[in-house]
Amino acid sequence: MTAAGPILARCDGSDRLVEADEALAALQVRLGGAFPGALAMPSLLALVRRSRTARLPLSGKLTIADSEQPLSFRARATPEGEGTRIEITEWRVSAEAWAGQDGAGTDQALLRQLAEAHVVLDAEQRVVSGMVEAADLGEFANALRQGFGRYWTDLVEIEGSAHRQPLHWRLLDGARLRVHGSVRDWKASVLPLRSGGFELLLVAETVLPTASPAQAETVPAADRTVPDWKGLLGRKLAPALRQPINRIIANAETIRTRLAGPLSEQYVAYAGDIAEAGRHLASLVEDLADLETVEADGFAPEPDHIDLADCARRAAGILGVRAHERGITLALPSADEQVPAIGEFRRVLQVLLNLIGNAIRYTRSDTTVSVDCGVDGALAWISVSDEGDGIAPEQAEKVFEKFERLGRSGDGGSGLGLYISRRLARAMGGELVVGNGAAGGARFVLSLPADNAAQASATG
């Protein structure tokens, strides 16, 4: 039942689960389904069905109300022949199973983000299932696969203790461990779950090997390498940081708007500064997380059939208040205009929010930001033009460089938005360029593969 690596499965053309690794097959049966048989997980069934009918790979983060423990995982469905191939990663206990969340929620959430092994234990601390993320925990992953029903303490070495189970979980919470095959030191966190049992988290205590130079010579070179921390912010820390940052912003806004009671103007201004600083920090965290995502090996957006005109209207709706505050008019595609394209909707919207947001931020008040779109042969395009100072030709490429601010400071930007946007455009088979518009300001153009079939259907 353990999941120490990706869980693989396959559905036939009728969305019946016909092949599955043990963890998913067992979950299918626990939820009342047959194996082989129709998928008993509605959210996974919906993802598989959409992928099969659209003939496109799709992915999503799902939560399943398992009778043993609520589970969450990321599922990717890819059409294969007449059926669908399923790959599941990030298999772990969902937040609904955690006990004591109200008391120490932030600390426990941070631990879960930092942990490189998540193991579900029963009430006697025996292994039920697990997920391993660290490359140097390969032997531990193998032990988990073969250790169903064993005490977890049999799979590791507890420093300073020769006792074996049963031990009270509080005596093991915080224990320092040695894990076979890893040269790092580890710490165990044992957290009780609401429906009984525990979640075991292994968090690395050291980055560099702790062996002596003489001992290190006996360790293979691959094991002596410092673990790869790339993706730490986006995959682990960003989710843990969002909640406290958003809480700071919400509380500051409550004070600023005097919802908590009368307050002098001086403190109203202080609260406004705190809220603005919180929003800047939240934006920076998101930008850094996106940066890690787009630079990760194997990053690939999920292509879908989208409408660029609709994306433009949605982005403008989100930014409409900000534009109104600056007296800026947003000129958009008409409500009946359609520009079919192939791209990931969420990523296209992200690019447009960046482009339109920059235009609102950097153009003069009481001007117009124009959004136009169309199809040119095999490419669909959408442009965002402002009436600002424009961008000099020699800076047209520089503006897309990482952390490039073009001399601006103090405006809340990170210098990452355009770099990330171009990476996203190219990952979707398109491009993002900049030039000067008819009104003299900057004109950014995002191009993507056109959805010619949809275009022909709409015009025919």
Q: What is the count of structural domains for the chain? A: 4
pLDDT value of position 68:
53
**Which of the four pLDDT bands, split at 50, 70 and 90, describes residue 219?**
very low
pTM of the model: 0.51
Question: What would the pLDDT profile of 117-156 be if each residue is shown by its tens digit?
Answer: 888 888 888 887 777 877 788 888 888 877 777 888 888 8
pLDDT value of position 97:
46
User: Considering the chain, what percentage of its residues have pLDDT values greater than 90?
Assistant: 25
Domain that holds residue 422: 304-459
In a domain, 1, yes or no: no
Question: What would the pLDDT profile of 170-185 be if each residue is shown by its tens digit?
Answer: 888 888 888 988 888 8
- Domain edge (last residue) among 63, 93, 123: 93
69 and 147 belong to one structural domain: no
**Distance between CA 132 and CA 142 in Å, rounded?**
10
- What CATH number is attached to the domain comprising 358? 3.30.565.10
- What CATH number is attached to the domain comprising 12? 3.30.450.20
Side-chain half-sphere exposure of 305, counting CA atoms within 13 A:
13
In a domain, 450, yes or no: yes
pLDDT value of position 259:
78
43 and 119 belong to one structural domain: no
Residue 206's nearest CA partner among 231, 177, 235 is 177
Q: Are strands 368-376 and 431-436 parallel, antiparallel or unpaired?
A: unpaired
- Domain edge (last residue) among 40, 67, 93: 93
- Strand-pairing partners, residue 433, are 445
Give the range among 11-20, 191-200, 271-280 with minimum mean pLDDT: 191-200
**Which of the four pLDDT bands, split at 50, 70 and 90, describes residue 362?**
confident
107 and 29 belong to one structural domain: no
85 and 111 belong to one structural domain: no
The count of other CB atoms within 10 Å of the CB of residue 46 is 16
**Which of the four pLDDT bands, split at 50, 70 and 90, describes residue 320?**
confident
**Burial class of 81 by CB neighbour count within 10 A (0 to 12, 13 to 18, 19+):** exposed
In a domain, 433, yes or no: yes
54 and 150 belong to one structural domain: no
337 and 415 belong to one structural domain: yes
105 and 199 belong to one structural domain: yes
**Which of the four pLDDT bands, split at 50, 70 and 90, describes residue 221?**
very low
Work out the average pLDDT over 329-337.
94
**Which of the four pLDDT bands, split at 50, 70 and 90, describes residue 351?**
very high
In a domain, 2, yes or no: no
Work out the average pLDDT over 96-114.
56
Side-chain half-sphere exposure of 129, counting CA atoms within 13 A:
21
On whether the CB atoms of residues 359 and 331 are closer than 8 A, the answer is no
434 and 403 belong to one structural domain: yes
Which of 35-39, 63-67, 120-124 has the highest average model confidence (pLDDT)? 35-39
Work out the average pLDDT over 427-437.
93
Q: Which residue has the higher pLDDT, 408 or 151?
A: 151
